Structure 1
Amino acid sequence: MAGRRICAGYYRRYDGKVVYVISLATDADTGEETVIWTAYPFADVPRYCTSSKKSFCTFVEVDGERRAKYKRLTNMKISEAAIERLEDEGFRGPVRKRQRRQLEEEYDSREYQQSLTYHAYAKELCENYNFDRSKYRLCVKEKRFAAITRSDFVKLKEDLQFLDNAMKTVLAEYKDYFQERFVEGLSIRKYAVAHQLNRGSVDYLQKKFFSALALLLKERDEAEGKCRLRKPVQN
């Protein structure tokens, strides 16, 4: 596996954790290639990690089955806001190839209601809003489950309707912020410039919004006696 090509993009680890590979670097002393990555969903305060390419490309045994330690999610796309954030941190964004891709190929890598916390759940709903809305509309237009299972479509529809209703009612005070940041795709920096705010103020606004949405998601689950977070692994 030493010759395996590692590109910028999303990868799923054998235990289900998703990471975003930013770039490769070379150890100045040993010459060993190193993978630079960060966990997904992206944290409010960036935390970057490194793994040797040899370790990143190795195989592991899970329940008697040999699996790649990290498997690339070729159809999971990084948002423009995330790219701009990486560039603000001094990293180069992914190099995009100019080629047409089938609609169904673009929509087959998202997992639903698999977050570990309600805050992460809220963040994923917002950051994937345009992606999820496009997938939903494709399914409705085609009158079939395009690149999605029936059970995931139910979760997708449920999440979209809940978020849309929340923005019209309980979270109406955040409606304009949500529209500009997650529908129109403004980065935190561009939103701050547009509203003549400093980045810290926008970060604080975003934390308040995610916390408020997370609380609503939790209250919904408690009212329905159902947990929509990822179930812990049973030993």
Structure 2
Amino acid sequence: MAGRRICAGYYRQYDGKVVYVVSLATDADIGEETVIWTTYPFADVPKYFTSSKKSFCAFVEIDGERRAKYKRLTNMKISAAAIERLEDEGFRGPVRKRQRRQLEEEYDSREYQQSLSYLAYAKDLCENYNFDRSKYRLCIKEKGFAAITRSDFAKLKEDLQFLDNALKTVLSEYRTYFRERFVDGLSIRKYAEAHGLNRGSVDYLQKKFFTALAQLLKERDEAEGKCRLSQPVKN
């Protein structure tokens, strides 16, 4: 498997965590390829890691089952904000082929209520809002479950309704920010320019918003006695 092609993009570890592969590099002394990656959701202060390609492409055994150490999430999209962050750090953003994909193909790898923390849950809801809303509307239009299971559709609907209601009530002060950033698709840089702010101010605003939304998600689970986070894999 060392000959496996590794491309920039999202990969899921065998334990359920998601990482983003930024690029590959070659060791100048021994000629061995190295994978450069970072954790997802992206941290406020970027931190990058390296793994040998041999290690990255290896397999692990969990409960007697052989699994790939990293499995590529081919249809999980990187946001414009994330691309901007990579470019600011000196990395090239992903090179995309100019071809139209069917919605059904793009929906395959989207998972719901599987984040590792409430902060990650909040970021996931916002960054996938347009994508999830389009999927929801398609299901309603088709009067069926288009490329989604019944249980995932229930989670999708629940998440959209919760976020929309929160923005109309408790989080109403962030409604304009949310619309411009996650509906209209402005990057942090473009939002800052549009409002005469510096990037640090917008980063702080986003952190406050994500933190407030994460707290609401946690309070909802506590009130209902239910956990909507990913459960750890038992070795």
* Fold in common (TM above 0.5): yes
For 1:131 and 1:64, the matched residues in 2 are separated by: 36
Aligned to 1:149: 149
Aligned to 2:10: 10
Moved more, 138-147 or 161-170: 138-147
- Counterpart of 1:56 in structure 2 is 56
Count of aligned pairs between the two proteins: 235
> Which residue type is aligned with residue 146 of structure 2?
A
- Are 2:171 and 1:171 aligned? yes
Which residue matches 1:113?
113
Identity of aligned pairs, percent?
88
Name which of structure 1's ranges 159-168 and 125-134 shifts more when overlaid on structure 2.
125-134
Cα distance in 1, alignment partners of residues 233 and 3 from structure 2 = 33
Q: In the alignment, what sits opposite 1:182?
A: 182
Does the 8 A contact of 2:37 with 2:50 survive in 1? yes
Runs (4 or more) in structure 1 with deviation over 2 Å come to: 231-235
1:205 counterpart residue number: 205
* Cα pair distance change 1:68/1:232, threshold 3 Å: closer
Instruction: Judge which range, 137-146 or 175-184, deviates more.
Output: 137-146
Give the Cα separation in 2 of the matches to 1:207 and 1:20: 21
Quickly say closer, same or farther: Cα 1:103–1:161, change in 2 above 3 A. Answer: same
- The residue that corresponds to 1:100 in the other structure is 100
> TM-score scaled by structure 1?
0.96
AA in 2 matched with 1:65: E
Q: Report deviation, 1:104.
A: 0.2
Give the CA deviation at 1:232: 3.4
Q: In structure 2, the residue corresponding to 1:67 is in which secondary structure? A: strand
* 1:77 equivalent in structure 2: 77
Look up the match of 1:133: 133
Partners in 2 of 1:2 and 1:121 — Cα distance? 34
Query: Is residue 85–residue 187 contact of structure 1 (8 Å, CA) maintained in 2?
Result: no
Distance 2:123 2:58 in 1: 31
Task: Give the match for residue 220 of structure 1.
Answer: 220
Aligned 8 A contact 2:189 2:199 in 1: yes
Equivalent residue for 1:231? 231
Structure 2: stretches of 5+ with no match in the other structure: none
Task: Supply the distance in 2 between the matched residues of 1:233 and 1:18 (Cα, whole angstroms).
Answer: 14
1:89-119: CA deviations, max 9, x gaps? 1111111112232210011111111112211
- CA separation in 2, counterparts of 1:50 and 1:147? 35
Moved more, 166-175 or 59-68: 59-68
Q: Which residue of 2 aligns with 1:88?
A: 88
Distance 2:134 2:82 in 1: 19
Partner of 1:40: 40
| Cα RMSD (Å) | 1.3
Distance 2:211 2:168 in 1: 17
Distance 2:214 2:221 in 1: 11
State the AA in 2 paired with 1:109. Answer: S
1:13–1:71 Cα contact (<8 Å) kept: yes
